[in-house]
Chain A
Amino acid sequence: MTGTLPAPATTDLADLTATELLAAFAAGTATPSQAVEACLARVAATDEVHNAVLLLLADRARAAAAESDARWAAGTARPLEGVPYGLKDIVATAGITTTGGSSLFSDFVPTEDAALAARLADAGGVLLAKLSTFEFACGGAVNRTFGPTRNPWDPQRTTGGSSSGSGAALALGQVPLAIGTDTGGSIRIPAAFCGLTGIKATHGRVPRHGVMGLSWTMDHAGPMARSVADCALMLDVIAGPDPRDPTTLPLEAEPFTAALGRDVTGMRVARPRGFLEGGMHPAVAAAHEAALAELAATGVEIVDVELPTFDLAAVASWWIIYAEMLSLHEAHADRIEDRDEMGASLLGAAPFVSAADYLRALRLRPRFQRELADAMAGCDALVTPAMTSLPPLIAPQMVSDLGDHEVPWLEAACRTSVPFNLTGSPAMVLPSGLVEGMPVSLQLVGRPRDEASLFALGAAYQAATDHHMRRPPVLAR
């Protein structure tokens, strides 16, 4: 260990959020090197069972942390100086293997960092590990090359995905920050299943240059963390225009962290009770009602709205993903037998979408955007359950238990998430309780480019509740 100051006697630095670590570094009660050692110790203690880490970068992280120690001592610390983080292994890292979670890329070493990876490093973050992912961000929970990632709350259950390693690593305290990607819910599903906070920001908010593509009009990259404040901190670093990604948005006038602590009294939140609250496990539905009561208790007014055709939004979303996925994967479509079973099944469904069907789905996108905008008129955000069921048991073909029947797990998992990939809306998931010992969550959806309202509402909810503070039983000491 290279730190010169003792860690607080009763606090394991691996349990702190990024915001808390930065405060400790600033106060001189901990150093980045100590934080990195704590995270490495947590990886050593937990990863054999949970399999969140694909590639541990211990030596590299120790060297970066030593530089951060020096910057804090010299008064030249950057926004994430010394904070350990992990990257989903579809994010390119120069000189470091980037597998995409696939045997087809098991030896692939990029020569250039993804835009967001470079921004995290430039902000002083310490890359600790490349993290597990469903194959190419679209496979199943049982990655046949690298094995399944197991949910920290119950290792028999999936973390969800495709940002499976990001979800498990954060819940286990292996890192306080991680990057996920989200084409149909892949930030929000593992965040919900693992009791975390995650945000898929507005389409174009985070540059995707260097992130392996799955579906170019549906893909998003973004922060996963253990608090709303940490997501805002990370999004401030990775957001912003990039000439290599023509969809990127300009910076906002204020950083997202400025929205934290804003008074939410009188803000209005729209509640669509139709498709987005349909097909829920009864216990999850009851927990959702309790969470809405907690949200209302922060001073927010919740009003009922209608989204009458959003059942079609989910269909259109999948048709776009199928078509764009087959196009992006055309170079190795003939090696489908080397793919994980579920990824192969999804890819196998792609030829059933004709060019006309794909364009029809694209033509529907602006109609769903307007339907959502109309429903949110006069409101600051929209609220839905993040998930309609508990995390499924790990299996090659998983199913979700809805109480009186089971459905294929993606049908349940993406029901409330994928429509907002289609609209490009910002959407944040935050923990809202436990059902049968497993996390359940709320989803807050904002207007395009209005992540600030989500951060204000989410921070107010987390200031009033302690759901995000709960840790999996495996960490009980």
Chain B
Amino acid sequence: MSADPTVVVPALLTAAGLAPSAEEVAVMIAEYPARAQAIEALWAVEAARYEEPCVVFRAEP
């Protein structure tokens, strides 16, 4: 998929069945690069790939 936020954002919204207003979509497009950067930061923690993804979790680690 294109990395262009003006392409990615409307495509993802459509795939999720969401139809926010044009103004809201414009805000999401503007914010998308920062969101993508934040996600990248999560992937930078290499050791996390070996942790259990606890979908039902307990507070005790």
Question: A366 contacts B59, CB within 8 Å?
Answer: no
Question: B54 contacts A366, CB within 8 Å?
Answer: yes
Any B CB within 8 A of the CB of A448 = yes
Closest beta carbon of chain B to A330's beta carbon, Å: 8
Question: B53 contacts A247, CB within 8 Å?
Answer: no
Question: A367 contacts B51, CB within 8 Å?
Answer: yes
Q: How far is the CA of A352 from the CA of B33 in the complex (A)?
A: 11
The verdict on A246 contacting B56 (CB below 8 Å), with A345-B24, A352-B35, A366-B51 known, is yes
Q: How far is the CA of A359 from the CA of B57 in the complex (A)?
A: 13
B-side contacts of A369, CB under 8 Å: 59-61
A-side contacts of B12, CB under 8 Å: 351-352
Which of B15, B17, B47 touches A367 (beta carbons < 8 Å)?
B47
Question: B9 contacts A360, CB within 8 Å?
Answer: no
| Secondary structure call for the A interface | helix
Which of A348, A357, A359 touches B28 (beta carbons < 8 Å)?
A348
Q: Mark each residue of chain A from 201 to 224: 1 if its CB lies under 8 Å from any CB of chain B, else 0.
A: 011100000000000110000000
Question: A336 contacts B28, CB within 8 Å?
Answer: no
Q: Mark each residue of chain B from 22 to 38: 1 if its CB lies under 8 Å from any CB of chain A, else 0.
A: 00110110011001101
Question: B42 contacts A316, CB within 8 Å?
Answer: yes
Question: A344 contacts B24, CB within 8 Å?
Answer: yes
Any B CB within 8 A of the CB of A22 = no
Any A CB within 8 A of the CB of B48 = yes
Closest beta carbon of chain B to A366's beta carbon, Å: 5
Question: A361 contacts B42, CB within 8 Å?
Answer: yes
Any A CB within 8 A of the CB of B13 = yes
Q: How far is the CA of A349 from the CA of B39 in the complex (A)?
A: 13
Which of B9, B21, B42, B57 touches A357 (beta carbons < 8 Å)?
B42
A-side contacts of B4, CB under 8 Å: none
Question: B59 contacts A448, CB within 8 Å?
Answer: yes
CB-nearest residue of chain A to B16: A351
Closest beta carbon of chain B to A466's beta carbon, Å: 33
Question: B15 contacts A351, CB within 8 Å?
Answer: yes
Question: B55 contacts A360, CB within 8 Å?
Answer: no
The verdict on A315 contacting B59 (CB below 8 Å), with A351-B18, A362-B53 known, is no
B-side contacts of A352, CB under 8 Å: 9, 12, 28, 32, 35-36
Q: Mark each residue of chain A from 311 to 355: 1 if its CB lies under 8 Å from any CB of chain B, else 0.
A: 010011001000000100000011011000100110111111100
CB-nearest residue of chain B to A218: B57
Question: B39 contacts A319, CB within 8 Å?
Answer: yes
Interface residues of B, CB < 8 Å — how many?
38
Question: A312 contacts B42, CB within 8 Å?
Answer: yes
Any B CB within 8 A of the CB of A449 = yes
Q: How far is the CA of A130 from the CA of B12 in the complex (A)?
A: 37
B-side contacts of A341, CB under 8 Å: 24
Question: A337 contacts B59, CB within 8 Å?
Answer: no
Question: A348 contacts B48, CB within 8 Å?
Answer: no
A-side contacts of B49, CB under 8 Å: 363
Which of B27, B35, B57 touches A345 (beta carbons < 8 Å)?
B27
Any B CB within 8 A of the CB of A265 = no
CB-nearest residue of chain A to B32: A352
Question: A202 contacts B59, CB within 8 Å?
Answer: yes
The verdict on A367 contacting B45 (CB below 8 Å), with A348-B18, A348-B28 known, is yes
Closest beta carbon of chain B to A372's beta carbon, Å: 8
Closest beta carbon of chain B to A5's beta carbon, Å: 45
Closest beta carbon of chain B to A132's beta carbon, Å: 24
Any A CB within 8 A of the CB of B3 = no
15 new A-B pairs (CB below 8 Å) besides A349-B35, A424-B58? A203-B58, A216-B56, A309-B45, A336-B20, A348-B24, A349-B28, A351-B12, A351-B15, A351-B16, A360-B43, A363-B53, A364-B42, A364-B48, A364-B51, A370-B61
Interface set of A (CB-CB < 8 Å, partner B): 202-204, 216-217, 246-247, 309, 312, 315-316, 319, 326, 333-334, 336-337, 341, 344-345, 347-353, 357, 359-367, 369-370, 373, 423-425, 448-449
The 4 closest A-B pairs by CB, nearest first: A424-B59, A369-B61, A448-B59, A351-B16
